[in-house]
Amino acid sequence: MQRTIDIRPDDLSGDATRRLIAFHLAGMHDTSPPESVHALGLDELQVPSVSVWSAWIDDGIAGIGALKDLGEGRGEIKSMRVDDRFRGHGVGRALLRHIVARAEEAGMASLWLETGTTADFIPARRLYESEGFAVCGPFASYRPDPHSVFMTRSLHAST
């Protein structure tokens, strides 16, 4: 039976969301050297240029994702994380498609992201590639990093 994924804006005030963000940050620090961790913490996610959504299945948080407005019609996908209990249920794809749609509605022309290079990140890279993202060079304030893969995708803005 396919369970419904409810994606909603998140103000980051809920304990479940805060726990998942903390878990995400801890995981990034476990798999990458400190200078290569580009995940955003709560304070960095609570700025006007960042929109955050959480995905819920039944009463449980299933995932989070954010969109950072980089200006000049560009957006960056940040803090994508699916709770381990819901991996393989389509949550990551649903969140990614939701963020892409919101970026298009906002008139953005392209999306960008940074993810890791280790085996832990293979499912994420495959997801992004399957949704039209292609490997590119560093963007915005990023610099070349052996622990980072940079990706981008053009959008069809509906302004």
Closest by CA to 117, choosing from 145, 140, 81, is 145
42 belongs to a structural domain: yes
**Confidence (pLDDT) at 156:** 84
CATH number at residue 22: 3.40.630.30
**Confidence (pLDDT) at 157:** 60
Residues 127-155 have pLDDT tens digits of 999 999 999 999 999 999 999 999 999 99
82 belongs to a structural domain: yes
pLDDT along the chain (159 residues), means of 10: 87 96 89 86 95 96 98 96 93 98 97 94 96 97 95 82
96 belongs to a structural domain: yes
**Confidence (pLDDT) at 1:** 53
146 belongs to a structural domain: yes
**Confidence (pLDDT) at 27:** 87
133 belongs to a structural domain: yes
Tell me the residue ranges of DSSP E strands in the chain. 5-9, 50-57, 60-71, 74-82, 110-116, 134-136, 148-154
159 belongs to a structural domain: no
148 belongs to a structural domain: yes
**Confidence (pLDDT) at 30:** 85
pTM over 0.95: no
Number of domains in the chain: 1
d(C-alpha 34, C-alpha 83), whole Å? 22
46 belongs to a structural domain: yes
Q: Which range of residues forms the domain containing residue 19?
A: 5-154
d(C-alpha 159, C-alpha 156), whole Å? 9
